[in-house]
Amino acid sequence: MDFAAELAKLLAAAEAALTAEEYQALFETPPEREMGDYALPCFKLARTMRKAPPMIASALKEALEQAGIPAWLSRVECVGGYLNFFLDRANFAKTTLAMIEADGDDYGKTDIGHGRVVCLDYSSINIAKPFHIGHLSTTVIGNSLYHIYNFLGYKSVGINHLGDWGTQFGKLIVAYHMWGDEERIEKEGVRALLEIYVRFHDEAEKNDALNDEARAWFLKIEQGDEEALRLFNWFREITIREVERVYDLLNVHFDSYAGESFYNDKMDRVIDELTEKNLLVESQGAKVVNLDEDNMPPCMILKADGATLYATRDIAAALYRKDTYDFAKCLYVVAYQQNLHFAQWFRVIEKMGYEWHKDLEHVAFGMVSLTDGTLSTRHGKVVFLEEVLAMAIEKAAEIMRQKNPELENLDEIAKQVGVGAVVFNTLFNSRIKDITFSYDRALNFEGETGPYVQYTHARICSVLRKAENVAAAEYDFDSICDEESQRLLATLARFRDVVINAADENEPYLIVRYAVEVAQNFNRFYYEHRILTENVGETAARLAITRACRIVLSNALHLIGIAAPERM
């Protein structure tokens, strides 16, 4: 039962000053439950009804009483310019638990997506470069959105748009020929490639001829030279093999690894179409799309030497994805530093006459820096993500060995908790915020953290295991009208709305904060009330709340890409 919607219908029937939808849009949740479950501020009605807000609240209350207040409302109160509604607690408990039990493990899911496709472009690591902490935000935000959209009835398509094209590969080939060792690179992987890449940039600062040589080798890649392609594909295989270890740790998977090189033969369509539609103009030898009317710099499509750019490839990729997947949305989880880039080529798609330009969205997030400055691959200033995850896993294992040395599958659970700590920390705030990476903060297991939420889930599972032999009984709903039970039930009832809101705003942190709230409210309930009591009706009702919490926490953790251990 959607209580807010039902209240709005009652108000519209009693006083037709507004429609039910308009009344519902005005509802607020009071800061304290003593002030009611819902509140209608009457200030915005003063102009329509030509009365002072306290008089409007009083008149609405009188109209509701004359129409008859339903049994699921315990009372209605006027406080100043507010009309406060108090739900019948026993009825609220009964309705909420019935709703969750009816849906079971699917509680919170909807079919608002109707099977429509959402393409998600995220992670997008660079070949032959380390998978570092700077890639963590895009990877976990994208992975969470992938799960959220599937949960809401969409079909998510995860795309890892690999950075596998550009002159950096010419640089790497030169570096390999000068300082590389095949056996060492096979053994050490990307770290060895990074070492010679950094050395190339150090040497090129003293000898610019190395850059000319690098450009020549990249041209050989473009022309299909056998040796150049052999090394290019080798670097790609080494990188994919290594990063898949990290993706496995994070439990992140992709439906496509089509990167920049995949679109080499798909650029002509973009250039031909822009030419046919008279959108390409020449500028200092380059070909651009003029965006003066949008107060943006021109979007460069071809360099003066005829080379394509990122925008050309992104437009080609968008056309390919629309043709291949017929997406309802195509999201790009990329740092806000690329705001202008996306605004430019989104506008080009619009100028090309494609109505689906409105379905393209840049899901921007803040940058990651180190405490001593920005990350820089070419200068070797990186924090390897695999190292961070390994440290987190070891810390989790150490804590578990101290507190629960007999725990079965300790190593596997430590992996779930350690990785969960890093992911949870990354998603805890709004995605647009910049992050200064700190080991201490990322590996913090206290307070509002992933391990706290996971431990709460494990505690719930422990209670339910102890109750396996408890006989079924009728629920005593009056026994769960206390403040802790009602606060917890009200939080559980909001789950579907939280997920929908997270999708609307592409903000996984809303689910992260919600999971903390559920865990905190369950723990208050747990400490204040015995769950397994001598009263069978009371026990049955409190176990029902506990089962409902397990479902919600498990689903919430899944949506942010974190495991829900049953033991810790």
**Active centre residues (catalytic):** 129, 132, 135
By C-alpha distance, which of 170, 135, 199, 202 is closest to 375? 135
Collect all residues with Cβ–Cβ distance below 8 Å to 177 and sequence separation of at least 6. none
Biggest CA pair distance of the chain: 90
280 neighbors 274 (Cβ within 8 angstroms): yes
Give burial (CB, 10 Å; 0-12/13-18/19+) of 373.
Answer: exposed
Pairing of strands 38-41, 155-159: unpaired
Structure tokens at 376: 């820089």
H-helix or E-strand spanning residue 41: strand 38-41
b/e sequence 160-196, b meaning 16+ C-beta within 10 Å? bbbbbbebbbbbbbbbbeeebeeeebeeebbebbbbb
Rounded Cα–Cα distance for residues 180 and 221 (Å): 19
Q: What are phi and psi of 314, to 5 degrees?
A: -65, -40
Rounded Cα–Cα distance for residues 556 and 118 (Å): 20
Beta sheet of 368-370, edge-to-edge order: 373-374, 368-370, 435-437
SS3 408: coil
341 neighbors 406 (Cβ within 8 angstroms): no
H-helix or E-strand spanning residue 75: strand 73-79
SS3 369: strand
Torsion on CA atoms 63, 68, 73, 79, rounded to nearest 10: 20
SS3 361: strand
Residue type, 544: A
Rounded Cα–Cα distance for residues 224 and 40 (Å): 69
**DSSP H helical segments within 352-482, as ranges?**
385-403, 410-427, 439-442, 450-466
Beta sheet of 155-159, edge-to-edge order: 155-159, 117-121, 329-335, 360-365
**Tokens 């499509």 identify what position?**
301
Rounded Cα–Cα distance for residues 315 and 286 (Å): 17
125 neighbors 219 (Cβ within 8 angstroms): no
